[in-house]
Structure formats: structure tokens, C-alpha cells
Structure 1
Amino acid sequence: MKISYNWLNKYLPETIEPQKLSEILTSVGLEVEALEPYENFKGGLKGLVTGEVLSCEQHPNADKLKITKVDINKGEPLQIVCGAPNVAAGQKVIVAPVGTTIFPLNGEAVTMKVAKIRGVESFGMICAEDEIGLSNNHEGILILPAETENGTPVEKLFDVYADWIYEIGLTPNRMDAMSHIGVAKDVCAWLSYHNHTIVTAKLPFSNNTENISGNSEFTVTIENTDACKRYSGVAIKNVKVAPSPAWLQNYLKAIGQRPINNIVDITNFILHETGQPLHAFDAHALSSKKIVIKNLPEGTLFKTLDEVERKLGSGDLMICNDNEPVCIAGVFGGIGSSVTEKTQSIFLESAWFSPTSIRATSLKHGLRTEAAIRFEKGVDISGTVRALLRAIELIKEVAGGEVSGKLIDVYPVVAEKKIVVLKYDYLKKLSGKVYSPESVKNILTALEFDILEENNSFIKLAIPLSKADISLPADIVEEIIRIDGLNNIEIPSTITITPSINENSLKENLKEKLAQLFAGLGFNEIITNSIANSKNYSEEKLNTAVRLLNNLSADLDIMRPSMLETGLEVLSYNVNRKNTNLRFFELGKVYKHNENGYLETEKLCFWITGRKQTPGWKNQNAEADFFTAKGITAALLENINIRNVSFGEPEAVAEGTIQTIQKNKTKLGSILLAANPLLQKFGIKQPVIFAELDVEGLAAEAIKQQVLYKEIPPFPVVERDLAFVTGKNVVYGSVASLLERMKVKYLESFKLFDIYEGEKLGADKKSFAINFRFINAEKTLTDAEVELAMKAITEKLAKEFDAEIRH
């Protein structure tokens, strides 16, 4: 938010230096992010003077140059070489003597020096308008009225305006400070408290309604009293629409506002002065003279000031000329009722609209106007008439006109001030400082709180209607602290802390351990947006997706139902920049809804693409594949004490080929080999393997497993290899599951080390080779014991899978 120093000083009881005022503003919570000088003419036209062209002769060495003599009333006339086609003797002109710096509208600043142009010395410059920042005109030099005195400083001829502009980082809850008067009130409260004297802002309001009487030809009806709780208006006739006076234009330009005409400029001026938005209608366009505030049917067409035809929603509050829409209430006016140079009579609106209604409409139509921003934060409902009276005075001053009939004020239910009780011990507890009741009273009185009751233990307050954000004792504490100053609260030498108890420490520790394991395996952690683009997801996922009602961007409209797609966006970004060997992991949440409501689930996911490892002379240039992901998954689970998981049969799904990960029939997650159509959607031309694990499931399974420590057996391990032939449709997962269930005596572990298919076995056959490790913790195993175990294994494999042992 921009605040003008000159404008702000109109309401302060004393002039404060710009830097000191900046410190006060920051102290009261209006953080000044920048303080910049402003000039309507850069450089302020300093050093430029008027002069008279005494003679004008052709340059001997250039057809388009003239040699002039110019009197600037300082000694001898200046010899100046000029290339302007319209220069002539007898003209009064603007001169930049040697040493003067000029600031062109386009280009860098230039300091005048003695120059030799085509062999002739020149001691300055006769200026065109664009060369000194007056306008874009460069048709020739600027010719002044004949009566202009020579040597007059040019800054006296033009309305030179200089100011300081504060860029304030306003927090969203401070609607009361979104105006120059609102800021002035905070400054006055600070001065009152710190200077121990009561000062108040110099307010420009008048309650004079003597000439606002009689019957108005307009009537106002509020149909939606929830969205519009107060509507004030007045008709003004015989106005003359024209450019605004210089003072008004200067104030608006200084804070970045573009002047339009005197009527519209006054509404903008009052918005930035008081925080109350106003809207001016051309009264001729309101032919029925019946102002109706209501909602129109869904799909009603309405052309706004920017000449865009918009489809209205049933929730959009409209200002209507009887049944004809003329303005989107509190957001944007209509093209048919706007004030133009032909306007002679206006109807001026000052109202209170529901923040919820305005925000919904503003976001829906993408119209983030100054008025909408203020209405959606909650304007002061008690200030509509006050702002209207201020506007009437200014319109009379700059546009003429007279009020036609009485001021209309439709206010069905008068707003009541909120009541808050602040206990002094709570103030001490929250602020860390002891405030005397008198100090509290002084601060709150300066901030316009009404004190209803007080004693040594509490103070009961009525909250100003301008402070819509205040409803709790903590809010009052904040008001006291910011006027006193955060720097005035001492930092204690000792701090007492009660240790917190984390009831969910197992899960958090597990997530931290998994993240460390991933990092150790060469993965990089990514964090993707929980709000995603629905275009990236299949119809099946979108059926249960959580859609946003008021999305800020067309590309971010749902809560992600899966992390696969958001990770593929990151992979695509990297792969398209030649970073092709990638390992990413992410801990995040996915969202969906069903008949029982909304569901939020935490997932641990990883993505692999490219080579398994950096190629070198000792390793193969192998690509990561499905089995790479399975190995990583098994290793991760084993590290968190989840062993002997099983992998289900591969299945074809829309996204590719998927395999579930289970522990005792409980699904822990899945591994997916992404399908080419999905990868092409993201512009990826290399295989991607994606794994998803359920964090809650992992935590529940990990807590079941006890960590047991035992001495390493001193006896040797006995190994046996077994190769057997089965049908081609048998998968290793089924074999491994069988071996786990057998619980073979002395069997420590087993591992698949070869799979073979070929003509020698037959078209429908497959060979598995498994290494078995046996150990007895109490003695050395005998061959007979091992052979007995191996016999049990072979017999079981033969029975279950019709396996034939290969010799």
C-alpha cells in the first residue's frame, strides 16, 4: 500500500520529518518497506530558466542547425546551437544553461556542458517538452507566452510537485489502516501515548446536511440484506465533468493512481483518504430512478467498464436500475452507466457489502479492484454517510453542481459494536510486560475504543466499527503492544519452558529415518504443490478428487489425488534440461472424497529414471528398471524392521504396470512402471518407475516388530544352491511366500540368484536358482541336518508347483 507524505500530513496535528514518521509507522505495525522521493517532473525543473531568442541565423556547416543568441537576463546573451525547426527570433523559450541537468521522458539524464557543434560553440540548450519531462511532444521547442519575463525559473511556471511515498507492507487484518486517515489515527495514537498529550487527527468531515433536503427522485431497495447491510446515496445535478485540478491529480499520481476525470478522481481520492469506496453513476442511465440491490439469475450477461461481457453467477450481488444491472456491487461498474464528459447529473453510491460476497465475486470474475480489496476485508459500516458528505463538498468544489433532493440512507439493522473484556493479568501473560490501567486506558482511548467499565483487574470495551478484525482479548493486547512498541518489551534474562510431549513421535521418527535412508541411497528430496492441475489426472482419479471452490489459478484447481503426476512434472523439467539420471523422493499428502466425507492420506513416494549409477570403467551402463525399485523398497522396509514382505502379481492399469507390496495380506503400497502415453503427456521419453508407500501403514507395521539383539553365532553358515524347473506362469513371489510359511528348521535366509528360460527347458518352462543359508546358533550343522532340510524344501516345491530338480 502506498501512502503520500504530503497527503498524510493534512491530517496530522504536527509536521513530522519523513524519516521519523517512517520509524513511527513501522513501530505501530505499519511496516515501511520503502521510502522513495516522488516528483511529478523528475528533477523538479531545477536550473531551467526562461529566455528570449534575440537572433536566429543559419549554421554555416549544417542545413538543419541554427545559431541563436538567447537572453536569460544574466549578463551577456548565450550562444546556443539549436536544431528545432520552429525556432525563430523574438520567441520566449525554456533554456538549460551549462551545468543544468535535464531529465528527458525517454532516456538518461543529461548535464549541459559547453559543446562545439559543427565548429560552433554552444552554451546550453533550448528545450522541447519531452526533453525536460513535461510531455511526449517533440515536434519542436516549447514556445512560452510573449509576456514571460526573461530569467524566470521554469519551476515557477509549472505546477511542480514533490513528495515522499511510503510503501507499507500492510497485514491482511488491518483494513482500518488502508487509508490516509486510518494511518493518521495510528500516528496520533502513538504521539498521544509517547508524548503524554492527547492529540487527534485533523479530520475533513462535515456533518452539515442543511442543503440536503427535500424529496429525492431516486428510491433505494435492498433485496439481499445479508450481502448489503447499508446503502447510502445522493443525486447531484448540473455537474461539469472535466480534468481534475492539479492538487487532486498530484495526490493520485503520487500513489500510482491514474487521473480520469474530476468525478471519478474524487471517488478514488476519498477511497484512499477514508477507506470507503464510492461509485458514481451517470444519473441519465438510471432511467427508472429505482436503485435495487439484488442477485440476478445465473448466466445473466453484463458488460463491465472494460467492455468485457461477463456471465453473472447467481451469487453475484448487483446494483440494478429496477431490473437492469448497472454495476457489480463493490467490484466493478458497467459500461452503460459510467461517468463521461457528457455527464451532467450523477447518482453517488456509498455502501457496505459483505466481505464474503465481494471476495467470491471478485475472484470468480478476476476483478481485483481497489474497491473490492477493501470491501472483502470489511469497511466501516458507520462511515458511509460521512464519506458521502465529504464527496459532496469536493464535487461542489471541483465540478460544481448541486444536491438534488435528500441524502438516502437505507440501513435496515443498525450494526452494534462488539464487546470485549480484557483482564490485566492476561495482558501481562500474553505481552510479557506490566501495563498500568492508566496506560492501557490512554492507548485504547486514543485508538477510539469506548470504555464501558473498568477496575484494577479488567477493562470492558466497545470495539470501533472500523476495526472489523478485533473480536478477542488477544486482539486488544496486540493493539496495546503495537502502540507502546515491541522494542519497549524487555527480553527476560531467564526463560521457563515446559517440555512438550510428542504423542506421535514414532511416526515422525520413522519419516525422518526413511528420509535419511533415501539420502544415503542417492535420492534428492522434492516438495511438490498439494494443489494441482486437474488436466494431469485421469477421469478415474478425478471422480474422487477434491476440487477447489475459489482457485487462484486456472492451472491449480484440485487437491492432488496422487503424487505420481506432480513428481512427473519435476522429472519432466529436469529431463528436458539434459538432467536425465534422477532419483527423487517426497513425503506428502494426497486427498480424495467419498460418501463419508474428505480423506487426507500421507504417502512416501519415490521416482527413478535413467541409469542405475554413474557409468565408469568398472560398472555397466545399465538403466534402472522395475527390479531396481523393488530392491530399494525391500531394503528400506528391512531398515525399519519390516521384513519378509511380498510383491503381488503385476497388473495392467491406466498408468502402466503395477505391483502391490504386502505384509501379511496388509497392503503397504505399490510399484508402478509408468506407461508411455502417461510419460508422453509430460514430455518424458525415457522409462520412469514410481513407488508409493502408505506412511500410516508403515508406522503401524513397524511398531508391531520387536527389535531383538543377540550374540553373533560362532558357528559357520552352510550354503546350498537349488535349481528347479516349474511352469512358466509361476512367479518367484509365490515361491518365496511358500518358503516363508514353511519355517524350515535352521534356514536363516534364501535369495534368488538366477532365472532361466530357453528352448532346452521347453516353451512353457522356467528355471529358478535359489541360494539357501543354514545356521545353528548352538553347534555346527551336519550335512545330514542340512540335507534333511533341503529334502523338505524340494518335496514341498514339487507338490505345490510341480517342480523338477535340475542336477
Structure 2
Amino acid sequence: MTISYNWLSEYLPVTVEPERLSRILTAIGLEVESMETYESVKGSLKGLVIGEVLTCGQHPNADKLKLTTVDTGSGSPLQIVCGAANVAAGQKVVVAPAGTTIYPKSGDPLTMKVAKIRGVESHGMICAEDEIGLSDDHSGIMVLSPDLKTGTSAASLFPLYNDIIFEIGLTPNRMDAMSHLGVARDVCAYLTHHDKKELRVKSPSVNAFKVQEQSLPISVTIKNTEACQRYSGVSMTGITIAESPQWLKDKLLAIGVRPINNIVDITNFVLHETGQPLHAFDADAITGNKVIVQTLADQTAFITLDEKERKLAAEDLMICNEQEGMCIAGVFGGAKSGVTEKTTRILLESAWFQPASIRKTSFRHGLRTDAAARFEKGVDISQTVNVLKRAALLIKELAGGTIASEIIDVYPQPADKKQVAIKYHYLKKLSGKNYHPDTVKKILEALGFEVMKDGIDELWVSVPFSKPDISIPADIVEEVLRIDGLDNVDIPSAITITPSVEDDREGRLREKIAQYLAGSGFREILTNSITNSAFFKEDQLQGAVKMLNNLSVELDVLRPTMLETGLQVIAYNLNRKNTDLRLFEWGKTYHSKAVGNYEEQPHCCIYLSGQFSPASWRSRGSDGDFFVLKGVVEKIGQAAGLPALRWEAAAGEGLTQSLAIFAGRDQIGIAGRVSKSKAGQFDIRQDVFFADLDWSMIVALATKNKIRFRELPRQIPVQRDLAMVVAKNLPYAAIESAVGKAAVSKLSGMSLFDLFESDKLGADKKSVAVSFTFLDEEKTMTDKEIEAMMQKLIGALEKEAGAEIRK
């Protein structure tokens, strides 16, 4: 929400300095995210003066340049080289002397210096309009009235507007502060409470509103009274569409609203003043002088103000004439009924539309307008007529309009104010402060609440329509607290709590694994669970959870797999030359078995791309590959206390050379290289290795695991190496399986330490060298015992793996 300091100050009964106002706004829950100076002309023409051209002659070294002397009223005339064709002696001009900074309409600021131009010194610049930011005109220098006094500040001659703009981070429930008057009400409540003065907002008066004639009566019928509970309007004739006065354009430009014409600008002005959206219809487009608020048939075509055809949904509320729709209610106007430069008669609309209906329509058509942003949070239903009068008076003043009908106010079922009771002991319990009842009443009354019943220990108040979020006693506590100030709640010297003790095994395991990964150079990422359905194949989307009210077309489905959101992070880093990536993430995927039957699955994912170990003076460095990824997963399994992992070939979506990961009989994940087609979706051109672990399965297996302790062996282990020739396509797992079948009890470990391929070994053959470790915890083994075990292993390898032992 953007708030203008000048504009807001018009509604405050006292002057509040900008710095104090910033602190007040933050204290009352309207956090000021930024506070910046606004200048209608950048630099505000500071340092520019009015000068008189005394002489103007040809530059001695350039045909297109003139050499002038200019009196700026500050002593000796300045010698200035000028390239404008229209410069002449006797003119009054705008001069930027040396040392002055100018801010061109386009381009960077420029500070004037004494400079030599084609061998002649120039002590400043004679300015054109675009060179000092006044307009885009660069046809020549500005030639001013000869009556102006030399040395006068240029800033005093031109309409400049300076302001201070506050950007307020509004929470979604604070629709009451989505206007300057709403913010002013809160500020006055704060000042009333803290400065002990009765202060009220200086609201614009509408007492001057008077119907002047009855020449344009228009009837209104509401067919959908749930979506539109109140519709107010007034018609006006004799309108002249023109440019808005400067004061109105300045106010709108300061808060980032582009002026269009006086009618549209007035509706925007009143919107930001009061928070009530308005809409002006060209009355000539209202056939039969009848307005009907209704829904139209599904897929009805409607052309909006931006000249785009949109297909309406059956739930979209429309403002119609006798023949067709004129406006998407509360969201966007239609091309046929909008105000144009030929408009002379209008119907001004001020209505209340159901928030949920407006929000759905706004998102359905991708039309996020200022009006929709306010309607979807709930506007003040009691103010439609007053706001209408305010706008009509401004149109009468600025566009020459005549009020040509009575106020039309269709309000089938007047709304009742909500009533909320607050007990003083509950207020103390929730706020931590003991408030005097009179203090509570004064704060609430300053905010627009009305005291209905004042008991000894309880207060009943009616809630103003401007605060639709207030419904329970805790909301009242919040109102009192924010006006009084959270800083005014005393901090107790002692806090009594009952700690909750839980067996958080999953949390401890997650922390343990995260510490290992972080210590290994991995960085944790957190990606959005909502992603783009375009990333997935049709069969993946069959059971996906799709968003009904997605924020954009790129965020329309809850992710069915983890890979894609991780690849987005990798692509983001690669585009910024961060090519060596080690990432991990805990996240969830989502699936739907039927309508209303959803499930979410937790995952632990590892991403590896680029170099794993960087190059140094001692080594060249090495790239991350599948075997590095496999080692990381093995370490995770060890940290979780899982059985030895087993890897089997399996197909993985978006992966090539993928393997399923088993702990015992249970599959705990899948790993592999990301396929080129999948990586290409994200414009990734380097290898990415990915492991997706089923976190719930890992936690379940880790929970069953029992930690056992035993004495460290006193004997020294013995190692023996064995080289063998096997089939080229034989997996190492087959060698491990053959060794396992040998059932050598004193074999404590084995590891592959060499792999060699050559035509000398034979066709489709390879040499594998394995180191075996033997350990007898009771005694020292003899060479004879070790040799016997080695022969047993050799026999198993020859039989089960078809190995040929190399001598």
C-alpha cells in the first residue's frame, strides 16, 4: 500500500513530522517498508537560475555552436557554449552554472563543470526542457518571458510537486487501512490515546451535494443479491472530458497511478482516498436506462477495456444493460461502456460485492486491479452513498457536470453490525497488561467502535463496517494492543512454563544427516511446493493435486516429484556462473487418489553437478559423478543405522543409468543421472546427478534399528589381494554376491581397488582387483588358515562369477 505524506496530512487535525509518522504507522501494525522522497521533476531544478543572454556569436572553431555571454545575476557574466539553433541575444533562459546537477528526462544525472568545447571554455549550460526533466521537448532551449528577473531561481517559476511516499506492508486482514482516510483514522486514534487530545479525522464534507435536475433517471435491478448486496449510483450530464488539474495529477503520480482524464482520475483519487472503488459508465451505452446486476451464461464472450475478448464463467458477476454485459463487476470495465473523450453523460457506480466472488473472478481472468484488490478483502458497505456524493461533487467541480438524478441506492437486506463481547480479565490474560476500562473504551471509540453495553467485567461493542476482519474477542485485544503499543506491555521478571517433552527421533536423525551433508560441502535448499504443470508428463499429472485458485499460470500444481523444483535452483545458479553445486533438500510431494483424498510424501534429495573437489596446485580436481553420489547416499545410510545398501537397475522418471536403492528388502529411494531431455527443459547443459530418498521409510527403518556395543578387537586384521578376469558386463554386485555365498566367517571386509580393461585380456573381458580383510578376534591367524579362506573365496568366485584368477 502506497501512502502520500502530503495527502494523508490533509486529513490529520495536527501536523505530524514524517519521521514520527513513520514510527507511528509501524507501531500500529502498518509497517513502513520504505520512506522515500518524491519529486515531480527529479532534482527539483535545484541550482538552476534565470539568465539573460547578453551576446550571441559564432563559435570560432565550430559551425554549429554559438558562443554566448549570459548574465545570471551573480556577478560577472558567464561564457557559455551553446548548440541550440534558437539561442539569441536578449533572451531570458534557464541556466545550469558550473557545479549544478541536472536530471535529464532520459539518461543519467549530469553535473556541470567548467569545460573546454572546441578550444573555448564554457561555464555551464543553457537548458532545453528535456535536459532538466520538464518534458520530452528537445527542439531548442527554453525561451522565457522577458519580464522575468535575472537570477531568479528556476524552481520558483515551474509547478513542482514534492512529497514523501510511505510503502506500507499491509497484512491481508487490514482492508480498513487500504486508503488515506483509513490510515488517518488509525493515526488519530494513536494520537488521541498517547497525546491525550481528542482528535478526529478531517473527512471531506459532502453536504454540498444537491440534485440539480431529473433528466437522466436510471433504474437498477439486482438479480444476484448474494454477490451484490448493495448498489448505489447517480447519473450526471454536461460532462466535459479533459485533462485533470495539476494538483490531482500530482497526487496520483506520487503514489504511482498514471493520470488518464478527469473522470477516471477522480474515481482513482476517491478510491485511494476512501478505499471504495467506483466505476463510471458512459450513460449512452446503458440501453433502456436500465442497469441489471446478474451473471451471464457460461463462455459468454465479453470485450474488456484492454480490447481483449474474455470468455465469462457462469459465476462471474456482471453489470449489464438490457442487451449485454457492460462491466465485470468489481474487476474490470467493458470496452463499449467506458468513458471516452466524446462522453457527456455518465452513470457513477458505488457498490458492495461479495469478496469471495470478486477474488475468484479476478484470478480466473488474470485481472488484478486496484478495485478487485479492495473488493476481495471487503469494503465498507455503509459508505457507498457518501463516497458517491464525494465523487459527484468533484466531477461537478472539475468536469462541469450536472447531477441529473436522485441517488440510486438498492440495498435489499441492510447489513447488521457485528457485536463482540470482551471480558477485561481475558484482555489482561491475552495482552499481558492490565488496562483501565476507560482506556479500552476510548481506544475502541477512536477506531469507530460503538459501545453497546458497559459492564463491570465485560464490554460489548459493535464493529464498524470498515473492519470486516473483527469477529472474536482476540481481535478486540489486538486493536487495543496495537494502538496502545506492544512496547508498552511490561516484560515479566519470570516466566512459568510447562515444557513439552517429545521423543523427536525423526528431528534428531534429520539434524544428524544435515550436519553430515553440510560438513561435506553441501548446501541446503528450500523450493516451492507449488510449481508449473508444464514440467511434467501427462501420466504424472493424472494423480497430481491441481490448484483451484492458482496465483499464476506458472504456479498451478503441487509438485508430484522433487526433481523439477531442484533443477530450477540449479538452472538459476548456472545462469549466474555458479557451476559447482552440491545441494540437498527435505521436501514433500503431493498426490491425489480421488477428490478430497490426498496424500503427501516426505523426501530427502541430493543434487550434484560440476566439480566435486576443486583444482589446486597439488591436484587437478575431480567432477562429481554417480559414484560420488553413491558414496554420499551410503554415508547417509550408515548415519541412519540402516542395513548395508543394495543397488539394483531400475527405471527412474527423468533419469538415465538409474538404480533403485534398497536397505534389506525395503526400497528407500532411487538415484541416477538426470536425462538430457529433462535437463534441457531447464536449459541445463552440464551433468546433474540426483538421488531421491524416501524419508518416511528411512525414519521407519532407523527407528527399528537397535544400537549394539562390543569390545574393540585386540587382534590385527590381515589383508590379501586377489586379481581376476571376469566378463566385461559383470556387475561388481555379482562379485560381492559370490563372496557372500562362500560364507567365510572371518572375512570382515572387501573393497575394489583396481579395474583394468585391455584386448590382451580377451574379448569382452576386464580385470578386477579386490582386497579382502580377515580378522579373528580371539587369536592371531596363521598363513595356513588365511590361505584356506582365500581358496574358498577363489572357488566361489570361479563357480558363481565365472572368474579366472590371475597368477
TM class by smaller structure? 0.7 to 0.9
Q: What CA distance in whole angstroms lies between the structure 2 residues aligned with 1:79 and 1:673?
A: 72
1:225 is matched with 225
Contact 1:212–1:406 (CA<8 Å) still a contact in 2? Answer: no
Contact 1:205–1:389 (CA<8 Å) still a contact in 2? Answer: no
**Deviation sequence 1:289-336 (CA, Å, 0-9, x none):** 222223333433322222233333334322222341222221222222
Judge which range, 528-537 or 680-689, deviates more.
680-689
**Deviation sequence 1:605-630 (CA, Å, 0-9, x none):** 22334566456798897765544433
Judge which range, 256-265 or 766-775, deviates more.
766-775
Q: What CA distance in whole angstroms lies between the structure 2 residues aligned with 1:613 and 1:81?
A: 63
**Deviation sequence 1:577-629 (CA, Å, 0-9, x none):** 77655433222222222237222111112233456645679889776554443
2:217 partner letter: E
1:701 is matched with 701
Deviation at 1:137, TM superposition (A): 3.5
Q: 1:81 to 1:587 in 2, by over 3 A?
A: closer
SS of corresponding position for 2:401: strand
2:646 is matched with 646
Q: What CA distance in whole angstroms lies between the structure 1 residues aligned with 2:45 and 2:354?
A: 48
**Deviation sequence 1:449-494 (CA, Å, 0-9, x none):** 1222233322222211101222232222221122112332233343
Q: Are 1:192 and 2:210 matched, yes or no?
A: no
SS of corresponding position for 2:566: helix
1:670 is matched with 670
Q: 1:473 to 1:803 in 2, by over 3 A?
A: same
Q: 1:439 to 1:284 in 2, by over 3 A?
A: same
Q: How does 1:53-452 map to 2 (within 5 A)?
A: 65=66, 93=92, 105-106=104-105, 129-130=129-130, 133-140=133-140, 159-206=159-206, 211=211, 217-452=217-452
1:508 is matched with 507
**Deviation sequence 1:186-210 (CA, Å, 0-9, x none):** 1211122122232211222436776
Q: 1:791 to 1:288 in 2, by over 3 A?
A: farther
Q: 1:704 to 1:469 in 2, by over 3 A?
A: same
1:710 is matched with 710
Q: What CA distance in whole angstroms lies between the structure 1 residues aligned with 2:259 and 2:174?
A: 27
Q: What CA distance in whole angstroms lies between the structure 2 residues aligned with 1:342 and 1:491?
A: 65
Q: Are 1:561 and 2:560 matched, yes or no?
A: yes
1:461 is matched with 461
Deviation at 1:639, TM superposition (A): 2.6
Q: What CA distance in whole angstroms lies between the structure 2 residues aligned with 1:51 and 1:785?
A: 110
SS of corresponding position for 2:325: strand
SS of corresponding position for 2:269: helix
Q: 1:743 to 1:444 in 2, by over 3 A?
A: farther
SS of corresponding position for 1:648: strand
Q: What CA distance in whole angstroms lies between the structure 1 residues aligned with 2:570 and 2:96?
A: 63
Q: What CA distance in whole angstroms lies between the structure 2 residues aligned with 1:415 and 1:673?
A: 63
Q: What CA distance in whole angstroms lies between the structure 2 residues aligned with 1:384 and 1:113?
A: 58
Contact 2:748–2:774 (CA<8 Å) still a contact in 1? Answer: yes
1:17 is matched with 17
Q: What CA distance in whole angstroms lies between the structure 2 residues aligned with 1:526 and 1:182?
A: 41
Deviation at 1:719, TM superposition (A): 6.4
Q: 1:31 to 1:744 in 2, by over 3 A?
A: same
Judge which range, 28-37 or 228-237, deviates more.
28-37
2:522 is matched with 523
1:483 is matched with 483
Contact 1:648–1:661 (CA<8 Å) still a contact in 2? Answer: yes
Q: What CA distance in whole angstroms lies between the structure 2 residues aligned with 1:35 and 1:685?
A: 44
1:206 partner letter: V
Judge which range, 668-677 or 76-85, deviates more.
76-85
Q: What CA distance in whole angstroms lies between the structure 2 residues aligned with 1:330 and 1:522?
A: 53
Q: 1:48 to 1:508 in 2, by over 3 A?
A: closer
Contact 2:102–2:111 (CA<8 Å) still a contact in 1? Answer: no
Q: How does 1:778-793 map to 2 (within 5 A)?
A: 778=778
SS of corresponding position for 2:607: strand
1:645 partner letter: L
Deviation at 1:430, TM superposition (A): 2.6
Q: What CA distance in whole angstroms lies between the structure 2 residues aligned with 1:210 and 1:362?
A: 35
1:605 is matched with 605
2:492 is matched with 492
Q: What CA distance in whole angstroms lies between the structure 1 residues aligned with 2:42 and 2:619?
A: 68
Q: 1:285 to 1:432 in 2, by over 3 A?
A: same
2:261 partner letter: N
Q: 1:64 to 1:552 in 2, by over 3 A?
A: same
Q: 1:218 to 1:617 in 2, by over 3 A?
A: closer
Q: What CA distance in whole angstroms lies between the structure 1 residues aligned with 2:649 and 2:378?
A: 59
Deviation at 1:34, TM superposition (A): 3.9
Q: What CA distance in whole angstroms lies between the structure 2 residues aligned with 1:665 and 1:226?
A: 59
Contact 1:725–1:767 (CA<8 Å) still a contact in 2? Answer: yes
Q: Are 1:29 and 2:36 matched, yes or no?
A: no
Deviation at 1:442, TM superposition (A): 0.8
Q: Are 1:583 and 2:592 matched, yes or no?
A: no
1:593 is matched with 592
Judge which range, 24-33 or 269-278, deviates more.
24-33
Deviation at 1:706, TM superposition (A): 0.9
2:528 partner letter: N
Unpaired runs of at least 5, structure 1? none
Query: Scaled by the length of structure 1, what TM-score is found?
Result: 0.85
Q: How does 1:649-798 map to 2 (within 5 A)?
A: 649-651=649-651, 655-715=655-715, 717=717, 733=733, 748-749=748-749, 775=775, 777-778=777-778
Contact 2:49–2:72 (CA<8 Å) still a contact in 1? Answer: no
2:538 is matched with 539
Q: 1:765 to 1:94 in 2, by over 3 A?
A: closer
Deviation at 1:94, TM superposition (A): 5.5
**Deviation sequence 1:335-360 (CA, Å, 0-9, x none):** 22121221111000111122223223
Q: CA RMSD in A?
A: 4.6
Identity %: 51
Contact 1:48–1:100 (CA<8 Å) still a contact in 2? Answer: no
Contact 1:302–1:311 (CA<8 Å) still a contact in 2? Answer: yes
Q: 1:6 to 1:646 in 2, by over 3 A?
A: closer
Q: 1:534 to 1:487 in 2, by over 3 A?
A: same
SS of corresponding position for 1:382: helix
Deviation at 1:392, TM superposition (A): 1.7
Deviation at 1:376, TM superposition (A): 1.9
Aligned residues: 802
Q: 1:213 to 1:90 in 2, by over 3 A?
A: same
1:281 partner letter: F
**Deviation sequence 1:226-260 (CA, Å, 0-9, x none):** 32222111111122222223332332233332322
Contact 1:716–1:780 (CA<8 Å) still a contact in 2? Answer: yes
Judge which range, 716-725 or 416-425, deviates more.
716-725
1:559 partner letter: L
Contact 1:96–1:112 (CA<8 Å) still a contact in 2? Answer: no
Query: Scaled by the length of structure 2, what TM-score is found?
Result: 0.85
Q: What CA distance in whole angstroms lies between the structure 2 residues aligned with 1:311 and 1:215?
A: 36
Judge which range, 542-551 or 703-712, deviates more.
542-551
Q: What CA distance in whole angstroms lies between the structure 2 residues aligned with 1:147 and 1:654?
A: 78
Contact 2:356–2:376 (CA<8 Å) still a contact in 1? Answer: yes
Q: What CA distance in whole angstroms lies between the structure 2 residues aligned with 1:762 and 1:335?
A: 81
Deviation at 1:698, TM superposition (A): 0.8
Q: What CA distance in whole angstroms lies between the structure 1 residues aligned with 2:397 and 2:803?
A: 107
Judge which range, 437-446 or 453-462, deviates more.
453-462
Q: What CA distance in whole angstroms lies between the structure 1 residues aligned with 2:764 and 2:70?
A: 109
Q: 1:145 to 1:734 in 2, by over 3 A?
A: closer
